[in-house]
Amino acid sequence: MLTYYQPLLHSLVNTHLERWLMQLPEQITSGLCEQRYGDLATWRQALGALPNTIVSYIDLKNTVTIGQRTDCNPESLAQLEQCLKTLIPWRKGPINIHGICIDTEWHSDWKWQRVLPHIAPLANRQILDVGCGNGYYCLRSYGEGAQRVIGIDPSPRFIVQFYMMKHFLGDIPVDVLPLGIESLPEHLQAFDSTFSMGVLYHRRSPMDHLKELKATLQPGGQLILETLLIDGKRGDTLVPEGRYAMMNNVWFIPSADTLISWLRKCGFKNPRLVDLNQTSTKEQRQTEWMRFHSLAEFLDPKDNRKTMEGHPAPLRGVFLAEA
């Protein structure tokens, strides 16, 4: 799949990101190695089988809508739907491609509506989205006028999902790389805005993650961070000994004041909480495009204020800070 990245690689020459070019092709090849990921060959076949269509309409500012149903004949639509369903589960969205509505697990559009009013305008900015999944927020950032958007996520499924969308969008300056943040060059200082949405609680060392995020930003650049929280005072942090909401890779869930303190300690300026939201079973749920258990199954059936393990139910906060 390295050919998908050639426009990106060429665009990095003579930029702040040029020194990354020494490592990036090998990182991409390693991150999309079929010997490491047994299902990747099937997903790539589905990507290669997408029909070539006329795309008469694109909206990435208000939604992720690509094309209209009338752009395709019935045979192409059926082929498209079959290819898209090969990549189930779809988690971030919703996404509409030629009238096929991918009703994803998350109503990511609701989260975007909560985040967007608070952040620095994205027009003409270089954007990084860490743990971006299928690139939904990358596309929404481009819809806001971003100059270049790079998402990183180590899951090959999400990479292929993104390039299924980009197949119909053409050569826009948005790419998703099969990497984790630890694969970025140190002290990159190349981005105007860095997103970390729903990643911090999956990191064994949240302080290291915050420092890694800071290193991606140009001086004055903005961090947009969304994470799980608990109610509490500064210093309070939940460290689940077992699972949290059936997830086995949740390490630290701080209070808002604790996270603000962590951000200050890591050298960020003016850290602040701009949105607090109790996750509902309407925002995160099982759908035709995500057929596995979701939030409703992760909560205590007798008390939805608690997870199955007895922890506080998911509360999510959005934080901003500057480098």
Degrees (nearest 5) of the Cα angle 86, 39, 23? 115
3-state helix, strand, coil in the chain (%, to 5): 35, 25, 40
Are 105 and 287 in contact by the 8 Å Cβ rule? The answer is yes
Is residue 205 annotated as involved in ligand binding?
no
182 annotated as ligand-binding: yes
The answer to whether the annotation marks 214 as part of a ligand binding site is: no
Q: Are strands 148-152 and 269-278 parallel, antiparallel or unpaired?
A: unpaired
Question: Is 155 within any annotated ligand binding site?
Answer: yes
* Residue labelled with tokens 């999902």: 161
In angstroms, the CA 164 to CA 122 distance is 24
The contacts of residue 38 (CB under 8 Å, 6+ apart) are none
Is 269 annotated among the ligand-binding residues?
Answer: no
Ligand-binding annotation for 247, yes or no, is no
Pair 116, 320: CB distance under 8 Å: no
Q: Is 111 annotated as a binding residue?
A: yes
**Partners of 59 in the β-ladder:** 65
Tell whether 154 is in a known binding site.
yes
164, with CB counted inside 10 A (0-12, 13-18, 19+), is buried
124: burial class by Cβ within 10 Å (0-12, 13-18, 19+)?
Answer: exposed
Residue count of the chain, please give it.
323
Q: Is 153 annotated as a binding residue?
A: yes
Which one-letter amino acid corresponds to residue 221? G
First to last CA, the chain: 34
Annotated binding residues for carboxy-S-adenosyl-L-methionine, written as ranges, equal 92, 106, 111, 131, 153-155, 181-182, 197, 201, 316
Annotated binding residues, written as ranges, equal 92, 106, 111, 131, 153-155, 181-182, 197, 201, 316
